[in-house]
Structure 1
Amino acid sequence: MTDVNEQWSARTRAIVAGRPHESDGPMNTPLVPVSTLGLGYAREDGTPTWAAFEDAVGELEGGTATAFASGIATASAVLDSLPAGARVAVPGDSYTGTRALFEHAETGGRIRVETLPPTDTDAWVAAAARCALLWLESPTNPSMEVMDVAAIAAAAKDGGQRPLVVVDNTFATPLGQQPLTLGADVVVHSATKFLGGHSDLLLGVAVTADGDLTERLRRARTLIGATPGALEAFLALRGVRTLPVRYTEASTTAALLADRLAGHVAVRRVRYPGSGAMLAFDLPDADTADRVCARLRLIRHATSLGGVETTVERRAARGGDAHVAPGLLRLSVGLEAPEDLWRDLERALHSVE
């Protein structure tokens, strides 16, 4: 694969990392649909397509990446690395699929779960003394709360328990935040979202700078069979190539929309961390929020996020998110023209004033 200059910007590294370096070879890493490599299975040894995707994401996050079949498969592999009965802390406001996975593991006696407010840093520092895993998500899904990753990671390293600190970086992406540089042990992504960027694949990835952790994650991937598909890895790598441009454009639009929403009479609160393509805003109640969603024409009412299209969802309507404000709408900003998006939002909001 291409040697990457550490002085190159993230925008450049996203383009060149994981590319074949032979001057007479293909410009891009080919799609390699293979189950067997000589005397080994691809499930155990990986494929060139996986490796190229892992190289690119690892370069952006500052560690060694391991790709999985989905974001939840990634979280499952992390749990697999814990001893039986381990205590795990998770934010109360976080992705429902992650919380459901942890609850399932707790019901089976695999782990013990503590649910903490994401922004109560003191509670997380205290949990570092008794937990084996601190699972952080920042910004959180869907309330866009920002956690103090550096302070929590520092507390984890100072105490005797030395819990594993994992950060779900799906919303921030490596362009907005690099948790490993803040002291985290592992950073995870649902590559289905911003890394892939086109709403056409399922994939997960974990990145760590610890060689032993990398081996444990890859062994878990092999044993539970959570291997990525060749096509998915190929498409995700293509998505990573444009991530910096997509992130910049979508972030600029998100900031504009957040500012205008904050000044709209129908909006009670805007939740935007100041960067990135994700934001949320509160309307008076569930009925108002549902009517706004129904009146949008350009913005898609959909549960996923991180694609080139802008999507909206009232998260409290979904099972497992009853803690979310009933009128909260989560907005994933895509690449449409900003003024077109604002006209769509303004028209829908005007209809419920």
Structure 2
Amino acid sequence: MPISSVEKDLDALTMTIVAEFPVPVRRLWDAYADPRQIEKFWGPPGWPATFARHDMAPGGRSSYYMTGPGGERAGAYWEFLAVEPERSFEVLDGFAGPDGTPDPAMPTTRMTCTFEETGAGARVTTTTSFDSLDDLQKLLEMGMQEGMTAAMGQMDAVVADLASFAAGRAAELQILSDAQVRVSRVIRGPLRSVWDAHHDPALLRRWMLGPDGWTMPVCEVATKVGDSYRFEWEQEGGGGRFGFTGELLESLPPHRAVTTERMVGVEGPGTVNELTLTPVEGGTLLTVVITYPDPQTRDQVLATGMVDGQEMSYARLEAEVLTPA
């Protein structure tokens, strides 16, 4: 058990949990920054967490739910108030309803996680601040202390696992729900360069091509919220033309962009694609959460080899755009 102390201060309305691990600060930080990793411990045993969104940047937001043994769900969210990479982050921590919206009937707390080196590795100190003594007592009665300590007790195995989350691994697909998937990959390049490669037409034409033998004759990028984009590809020499178009819904450079997407010339609902970029050991963690209109559409798209095509593009991005000549 990595937890070294739990202290409640009823006068200051705080609860502080200290945990220590035999790993560098960078490894401990990445366990919180990477949704694939935080899902493995942020939820007590028997109540695993699923993060449908995780933007670890000032102004960012996390939306997640924990699933109980009987399939019941408990939703929650974080609003990131401050982020100092490898040092600390501060969030508003609240409960959410089934649709992900905040639950006004439940207390909201402020949580700060501070990371520091120790002689044997790294320490994370989690301080939760409550608005009132009533809120503190209510959440403690609901099992908040036991839940957090049990969840953090699972972190040893996560931070010890280096291979599963390292740079150099191919794009990974995870099914989040009946209509939602997440594609993740560590891109070996700095955050701003990876962001620019997704928003500069000249760079996009060099890497976003899928299998070899394709070109990108149309590359119109949306630069402001409300703008439309249009990408079209064709085989070298002509033929096989297809494309996608959509609208930019949200933009938080260089961390997050949300767009709609539908195939050019095809009627009906499309998808919502949420791109998140997060600095991690070895480069930039790229995650794309895709929401489909229904499970059937999701399965049809995945059966086309979509993730394999994305991996070919990401490998080209590293080799031909981000690697110095």
User: If the TM-score is normalised by the length of the shorter chain, which range does it land in?
Assistant: 0.3 to 0.5
More strand by share: 2
TM-score, length-normalised on structure 2?
Answer: 0.34
TM-score, length-normalised on structure 1?
Answer: 0.32
More helix by share: 1
